[in-house]
Amino acid sequence: MLKVEHIGIAVESLAVSVPLFEKLLNTPCYKQEEVSSEQVQTAFFQQGETKIELLEATGSDSAIAKFLAKKGAGMHHIAFEVADIHAEMARLKEEGFVLLHETPKKGADNKLICFLHPKNTNGVLIEICQEIR
Ligand SMILES: CC[C@H](C(=O)O)C(=O)SCCNC(=O)CCNC(=O)[C@H](O)C(C)(C)COP(=O)(O)OP(=O)(O)OC[C@H]1O[C@@H](n2cnc3c(N)ncnc32)[C@H](O)[C@@H]1OP(=O)(O)O
Ligand SMILES: [Co+2]
């Protein structure tokens, strides 16, 4: 894995949290993007080599909506950048991690993504992502 590509934070409202993080980080949000397959609206902030990804639910049965209902706003996942997501998924599966889907999905910010179940990663939701070249 190459680097922490982004840290995902679940928020109730981007309208509230984007201005808050712009003040906190002294950095403008560089992109907002809806990913309908995940029923989320995302907002990104570049922070050096990594990013902050804010996530608002756009559907009641989205993973973010469930997370917010259960745990409230806060840290949601860590995303690691990989060079070859197919090879990394095969390696992680071989190592006994539970992949949440068999093939990579289209994520936000021009990435292919795959999540690992937190039950095998010490309770931390891990996303791996590869730039779509
Ligand atoms: C737009 C794409 C974008 C990108 O970067 O490109 C994204 O990052 S999208 C982010 C939102 N999408 C996802 O998170 C997809 C992957 N997540 C899932 O499939 C689910 O959230 C899953 C399987 C992790 C949990 O779903 P489930 O329906 O099983 O919900 P439960 O509440 O029953 O949770 C079961 C169990 O997991 C714990 N849990 C849930 N979410 C998290 C989390 N973010 N971090 C750590 N642990 C989590 C939850 O507490 C339950 O544990 P238990 O001990 O049983 O209470
Ligand atoms: Co993410």
List, for residues 8-35, the tens digit of each pLDDT value: 999 999 999 999 999 999 999 999 999 9
What pLDDT score does 59 carry?
Answer: 96
The closest ligand to the CA of 124 turns out to be: 1
From ligand 1's centre to the CA of 53, what distance in Å? 15
Task: Give 56-74 pLDDT, tens digit per residue.
Answer: 999 999 999 999 999 999 9
Q: CA triplet 42, 11, 113: central angle to 5 degrees?
A: 40
Check whether 107 has a pLDDT greater than 90: yes
- CATH assignment of 3-131, given 3.40.190.10, 3.20.20.70, 3.10.180.10, 3.40.640.10? 3.10.180.10
Reading phi first (left if > 0) and then psi (alpha if -120 to 50, else beta), residue 122 is in left
From ligand 1's centre to the CA of 100, what distance in Å? 10
pTM, full prediction:
0.97
Q: Is the ipTM of this complex over 0.90?
A: yes
Q: Choose one of 66, 80, 119, 124 to mutate for the ligand 1 pocket test, by most ligand atoms within 8 angstroms of C-beta.
A: 66
Is residue 111 within 8 A of residue 97, CB to CB? The reply is no
Strand partners, 7: 52, 78
What pLDDT score does 1 carry?
Answer: 84
CA 82, CA 5: separation in Å to the nearest integer? 9
Q: What residues sit around ligand 2, an ion, with C-beta below 5 angstroms? A: 8, 53, 79, 127
CA 25, CA 19: separation in Å to the nearest integer? 10
